Amino acid sequence: MLALMMIGAYTSVSAQELYVFTEPASNMPTKSIGVRITNEGMFNYPGYVSRTIPEVMIGFNKNLMMHAQAFLSDMDGKYRLEGGSLYAKYRFLSMDEAHSHFRASAFGRVSTSRRPTYTRDINLEGDNSGVQGGLIFTQLLHKLALSSTLGYAHAFENSDRQIAGMPQPKNMLSYSLSSGYLVLPVVYKDYKQPNFNVYLELLGKTDPGSGQSYLDIAPAVQMILNSTTRIDFGYRFQAAGNMDNRYTKNMYLLRAEFNFFNVLK
Amino acid sequence: MLFFAVNVSAQQISTADLQVTGLTCSMCSNATQKSLETLGFISSVKPDLNKNIFVLTFKKDANVNLDLVRKKVQDAGFSVGGLTANFNFNDVKVDDKGQAVVNGNVYRFVNVKGKTLTGTVKASVVDKDFISGSAFKKQAATANSDAYASGTGVVNGKKTRIYHLVLS
């Protein structure tokens, strides 16, 4: 928290809210389509494993947008399609001022995965089938953009693929605090100029059943090219926690996003 | 009669400086620009990326709809922080209540009463969602127009959009 505040206090450039590990309360533009390809990987699973996530995002109107994702990984042996997810976000509050804004959104997610379960952790982006709902609050205050996400997930029963003796996941509380800022350009000239952004996010989860928790620190860098293409690279480190066999531990994330504005009629 | 016809077809708003709030990256500005460019009555959009201002030039003789400009900014996910336009007025009479009707568009001036306006007149729209929420609240407290809160009022027996303007 202090680190996030420090960034806000000492930067002399604009804040950014295109977070890498979480979503901001702001939506994508109406009638626009975004296409993402994300690669996530862990080096000690015990070996190297990775997941590839193709994703399509659609802005229906100024308040409602949706993501559709597919998950492919080699976490259970050979690389295979393991599931998919639908995510919708509705912005219900916007208080915009000249140099600040406060926005709030509600989101929902439904996911499917054919992976077996062997931990109490729940990750609806590839590892579990289930539903999630939550709220996002984003505050832009001059140079500081802070965003907070609160979510509650429920995993569907997975008796077919449950491994004997392994815990069964039920519910999961998730919470995050994100901060980002624009490093370059210092002075804008045109849309062709690359933007360079730096992010720091805190990502936490608590299992209300067992009380087990973990907290990750996730720094990330981002390039925006031609004002349409976004490249993200981040890494999440476990800073604290005690959840056995948790997902997404000490994981890198590499992503390319392409935006097509006003393509829908 | 001929003079009247010329007057009607004369271009009413030529250019506008549009201030957009909440833009934090060139991608956001680009999305706003692309959204504005879908409007048929706009001929060009020139951004000032550092000040988040778009200079809009309108097509000659086109019917400019400022509410659609506001909507396109909102569609892109942002808000209008200010809109100052150049109005081309030809002998436009502003009545004792500050109201003027030009080619069917109804304007109420906050700071002009009982005056005739001619030539290029620079004025800012101060209606809801054309200025920040806090500025609107402040303006609403002092506005002496019954149409200010809703932006509509009854003119000649018909419910009509009324734009509230502050002359620069």
| ipTM entry | 0.82
Q: What is the Cα–Cα distance from B110 to B99, expressed in whole angstroms?
A: 9
Of the candidates A16, A98, A197, the beta carbon closest to that of B21 is on: A98
Length of chain B: 168
| pLDDT beyond 90 at B1 | no
B111/chain A closest Cα distance in angstroms: 23
Report yes or no: B21 and A248 within 8 Å, Cβ to Cβ.
no
In this complex, is the C-beta atom of A222 within 8 Å of any C-beta atom belonging to chain B? no
Half-sphere exposure of A147 (CA within 13 A, CB side): 28
CB < 8 Å to B35, chain A? 29-30, 261-262
Tokens of A65: 């947008």
Closest CA to A169 of A109, A124, A107, A217: A124
Q: With CB atoms and an 8 Å threshold, state whether B50 touches A97.
A: no
Q: Give the torsion sign (CA, A161, A165, A169, A174).
A: negative
A199/chain B closest Cα distance in angstroms: 14
| B46 burial type by CB count under 10 A (0-12 exposed, 13-18 middle, 19+ buried) | exposed
Of the candidates A98, A193, A262, the beta carbon closest to that of B26 is on: A193
Amino acid at A87: Y
> What percent of chain A is predicted at pLDDT more than 70?
94
Q: What is the Cα–Cα distance from A209 to B94, expressed in whole angstroms?
A: 70
Q: With CB atoms and an 8 Å threshold, state whether A16 touches B25.
A: yes
Determine the pLDDT at residue A15.
67
Report yes or no: B166 and B123 within 8 Å, Cβ to Cβ.
yes
| pLDDT beyond 70 at A8 | no
CB < 8 Å to B34, chain A? 29, 261-262
Over range A138-152, report the average pLDDT: 88
Provide Rg for chain B, Cα atoms. Answer: 16
Determine the pLDDT at residue B12.
83
Q: Which of these ranges, A3-12, A109-118, A145-154, has the smallest mean pLDDT?
A: A3-12
Determine the pLDDT at residue B8.
43
Size of interface A-B (CB pairs under 8 A): 96
| pLDDT beyond 80 at A13 | no
Report yes or no: A140 and A118 within 8 Å, Cβ to Cβ.
no
A234/chain B closest Cα distance in angstroms: 19
In this complex, is the C-beta atom of B130 within 8 Å of any C-beta atom belonging to chain A? no
Cβ within 8 Å of residue B74, ≥6 positions away? A62, B80, B129
Report yes or no: B58 and B14 within 8 Å, Cβ to Cβ.
yes
Determine the pLDDT at residue A241.
93
| pLDDT beyond 60 at A21 | yes
pLDDT in tens, A84-135: 999 999 999 988 877 778 999 999 999 999 999 888 999 999 999 999 999 9
Determine the pLDDT at residue B11.
54
Tokens of A11: 């930067």
For A4, phi and psi rounded to 5 degrees?
-65, -40
In this complex, is the C-beta atom of B133 within 8 Å of any C-beta atom belonging to chain A? yes
Over range B34-56, report the average pLDDT: 93
Q: Which of these ranges, A106-120, A232-246, B90-104, has the smallest mean pLDDT?
A: B90-104
| A226 burial type by CB count under 10 A (0-12 exposed, 13-18 middle, 19+ buried) | middle
pLDDT in tens, B105-135: 899 998 988 888 888 999 999 999 999 888 8
**Residue B52 vs residues A7, A108, B33, B78, B99: alpha-carbon distances, Å:** 23, 33, 11, 11, 31
The number of angstroms, rounded, from the C-alpha of A146 to the middle of its chain's C-alpha atoms is 15
CB < 8 Å to B46, chain A? none
- Rounded to the nearest 10 degrees, what angle do helices B26-36 and B66-75 cross at? 140
pLDDT greater at residue A161 or residue A37: A37
Determine the pLDDT at residue A259.
94
Residue to mutate among B18, B20, B24, B74, with most A CBs inside 10 A, is B24
| pLDDT beyond 90 at B164 | yes
DSSP state of B142: H
Residue A14 confidence class, pLDDT cut points 50, 70, 90: low
In this complex, is the C-beta atom of A63 within 8 Å of any C-beta atom belonging to chain B? no
| pLDDT beyond 60 at A10 | no
Determine the pLDDT at residue B4.
43
Tokens of A191: 């849309």
| pLDDT beyond 90 at B41 | yes
Half-sphere exposure of A1 (CA within 13 A, CB side): 2
Q: With CB atoms and an 8 Å threshold, state whether A95 touches B24.
A: no
A248/chain B closest Cα distance in angstroms: 29
Over range A68-91, report the average pLDDT: 96
Residue A156 confidence class, pLDDT cut points 50, 70, 90: very high
| pLDDT beyond 80 at A158 | no
DSSP state of A117: B
Closest CA to A97 of B74, B16, B80, B66: B80
Q: Which of these ranges, A122-136, A224-238, B9-23, has the smallest mean pLDDT?
A: B9-23
> What percent of chain A is predicted at pLDDT more than 90?
69
Report yes or no: A14 and A182 within 8 Å, Cβ to Cβ.
yes
pLDDT in tens, A199-230: 999 999 999 999 999 999 999 999 999 999 99
CB < 8 Å to A95, chain B? 133
C-beta atoms surrounding B34 within 10 Å? 22
In this complex, is the C-beta atom of A262 within 8 Å of any C-beta atom belonging to chain B? yes
| pLDDT beyond 70 at A9 | no
pLDDT greater at residue A193 or residue A107: A107
In this complex, is the C-beta atom of B29 within 8 Å of any C-beta atom belonging to chain A? yes
Closest CA to A247 of A105, A49, A57: A49
In this complex, is the C-beta atom of B45 within 8 Å of any C-beta atom belonging to chain A? no
Q: With CB atoms and an 8 Å threshold, state whether A191 touches B29.
A: yes
Q: Which residues pair with A94 in a beta bridge?
A: A103
